[in-house]
Structure 1
Amino acid sequence: MSNRKQLHPERSPREKFGLLVRTLRDERGWTQEELAERVGCTGSHISAVETGRRAATQQFARKLDRVFGTGARLEQQIQAARYTALLEGFPEYVAREAHAAEIRLYEVGVIPGLLQTPQYAAAIEDQEVKRGAITPEQAHERVALVESRQAALVRTPPPLVFVILDESCLLRPVGGRSVMGVQLARLLEFADNPHTALHVAPFSMAERRPYTLPITILTLPDRGLMAYAQSSQHGHFERESAAVVPMLAAYHQLHVGALSQDASVDMIDQIRKGTT
């Protein structure tokens, strides 16, 4: 017992989760091998999770809850760890997004997460780490969340996804020329998809642009409406359809003033050629 690795739960979500697993196991007098047998994995896997060397998946946490008889305690901690660096309302929004029939979003300054390449997402989060805004662990979770959100859209039937990008999204060279070139190519692929639409709101819209901040509007399978909007420090998830209807009307006004998809694709392609 004396050679046990000392855990520091305040240092990372992984070590906090690992300490909880170790504590629950110790309370029952089980060895790592005995717990592994009950869960259906190896003792080395339990060791890696307990010491924070390996991140536990939500499915693994669910198995642990079943074995320990802890309800959904461990699974909830995994979910909480995943969202430690996210704004209020966003975790609930992500859960709804995964089942939405239609997604309409408008973004300013950066490519939205649903369209980001892993390199682009990592470049943004790396800078957040350098500024001290988030930890490296949180940055990893954010990038992983981008990938999981995109994977959730690959379903049958797929959602309709309507995207309007402020021109600033295309001109901000995140990650340098090579990263930006791949990212812009990703936008062109997205526009070519049969269940998506991509438009650019040019700077020339000026004061005619109805939104000054990013916004996303979801149409749920039952045709109910929800919306999520955020600033740099705050997020708000609107659950009442009646409150979202004016936002949807403004979105349609934005769509009317934006470039056509053909013109938008041409603009993106011209900017992309300048990055190569």
Structure 2
Amino acid sequence: MNRYSLNQATTKYWPLEDVVKASANADLEWIGLWREPIQEYGEERAAKLVKDAGLKVSSLCRGGFFTATDPAERQAKIADNRRAIDEAAILGTPVLVLVSGGLPPGSRDIDGARAMISDGLAELAPYAEERGVTLAIEALHPMFASDRCVVSSLAGALDLAEQFPASQVGVIVDAYHLWWDADIYRQIARAGDRIVSYQVSDWTVPLPADNLLGRGMMGDGAIELRRLREACDDAGYDGPIEVEIFNQELWDAPGQEVFDLAYARYQEHVV
């Protein structure tokens, strides 16, 4: 259980102080954080809260969204990613998760969108390394390709990451987004030391009307979570494993109840 990390997105409406307290009370070592609530709380203040509780930040989510055709908008996105890198450094996490961006409005040029991501990584990767932060490309399920992320497979994420040193750009293995891929285990082995996070939830059906909120609690769906974890282990990844679930019913439930359920399901289905 020393690898377990509850990503605060799983208990979206639970105050940061409560998530940190629950994690510390459970003798956890890690917690996953999101930029928006941390910005509201204050980065320096959040860093102190986490450190004083004896925790470390497994990742900060999120940067990315590089795909823009307007030069001014593109530079604004690069500037925001620099801020995200700085925030990760303040929090002491070496992992900034990137949701790289979908098609620009009105565009059908998916190759061009992927080229924009490569260009954005090239501009930011040296700065991230100077700050002790690895840019972590997260491939999203293909249903999100048009509006959120044109990187839809671990192979595609690695094709981008391998243009840069592993110290600058790595990849996320998110079970929800990648479990369906027949090539996933070969790609995990290929990823090796570029894996900087393994994230778990489950794939349940039917999906809700808002498919962004379709992640289920571990054990409620179709994903071989332990098998994926073992593959990441075999590839050399021994870092934190984040429980990250976007689910309205869980968000509406009491935070401690969700925390306890996630902790138990992780032990049952991931360890």
Q: TM-score, normalized by length of structure 2?
A: 0.28
Q: Larger % of strand: which?
A: 2
Q: Larger % of helix: which?
A: 1
